Amino acid sequence: MNIILLGPPGAGKGTQAKRLETKYGLKQISTGDMLRAEVASGTAIGLKAKAIMESGQYVSDPVIVSMIEERIARPDCSHGFILDGFPRTEPQAEALDEMLSKRALTLNAVILLDVSEAQLLERIACRTAEDGTRRDDDDPDVVRSRLNVYHKQTAPILPYYERAQCLYRVNGMQAADAVGEAIDTILVGKGKI
């Protein structure tokens, strides 16, 4: 089973991806985490990505696409994966379709976590306060820029998946457990679990 989790920054994609990973043995693939690992180890990609991420902009499509292509080919993805933070642009969505058809894989569901803007800002502020480990891009101005970039570049891919009839919307403003149950219901309905 291969799933995409979509939604604005702070919508809870990471939390739900972790839950699906544990519950169904799917592999979470988070482009944000992968990029942060590249930055931490000072690779060529990391050096380029750092400033872009700190400003809330998107890293270029070819870099992200080749990172994902290499990642889904690894054996730990053979039972399926949850894409968290990818695709984020139309070219990425198209590249993913090509990658999947090349490997004879299907996309079983695209789940959108719907959350209001006010709640997102509040959540990201809380995450910063609770963690103590503030992400460089959790600065309030950068969060606004990440939300703008999401509306401009990522929201337009929703009709792409709507047309493919695989888009499911979940109310992301419920408690995390309730969001998880709503996702389970979708997957059960698809006969996937």
Residues 6+ apart with CB under 8 A from 21: 27, 28, 82
Contact 105, 8 (CB under 8 A): no
Contact with ligand ADP (CB under 6 A) among 4, 35, 115, 167 = 35
- Give 59 or 82: the residue with its C-beta nearer to ligand ADP: 59
Assess 12 for contact with ligand ADP (CB under 6 A): no
What 141-147 contacts at long range (C-beta under 8 Å, 24+ apart), as own/partner pairs, is 142/54, 142/55, 142/56, 143/9, 143/10, 143/56, 144/56, 145/55, 145/56, 145/57, 146/8, 146/9, 146/56, 147/8, 147/9, 147/117, 147/120
Out of 16, 82, 85, 112, the only residue in the binding site for ligand ADP (CB under 6 A) is 85
CA distance 177 to 90: 31
Q: Given the rule CB under 6 A, which of 20-28, 30-38, 95-103, 106-114 is the region that contacts ligand ADP?
A: 30-38
**9 in contact with ligand ADP (CB under 6 A):** yes
Least distance (Å) between residue 51 CB and ligand ADP: 10
Tell me which of 64, 113, 179, 186 binds ligand ADP, using CB under 6 A.
Answer: 64
Pick 40 or 193: Cβ nearer ligand ADP: 40
Helical (H) or strand (E) element with 59: none
- Cβ of residue 176: shortest distance to ligand ADP, in angstroms? 15
Task: Mark the segment that binds ligand ADP (CB under 6 A) among 18-26, 48-56, 104-112, 176-184.
Answer: 48-56
188 sits in which H/E element: helix 176-189
The residue (of 121 and 192) whose beta carbon lies closer to ligand ADP is 121
* Nearest residue to ligand ADP on Cβ basis: 32
- Pick 138 or 192: Cβ nearer ligand ADP: 138
- Burial readout 89-106 (b: 16 or more C-beta within 10 A, e: otherwise): bebbbebbeeeeeeeeee
Q: Is 56 in the site for ligand ADP (CB under 6 A)?
A: yes
- Using CB under 6 A as the binding rule, whether residue 179 contacts ligand ADP is answered as no
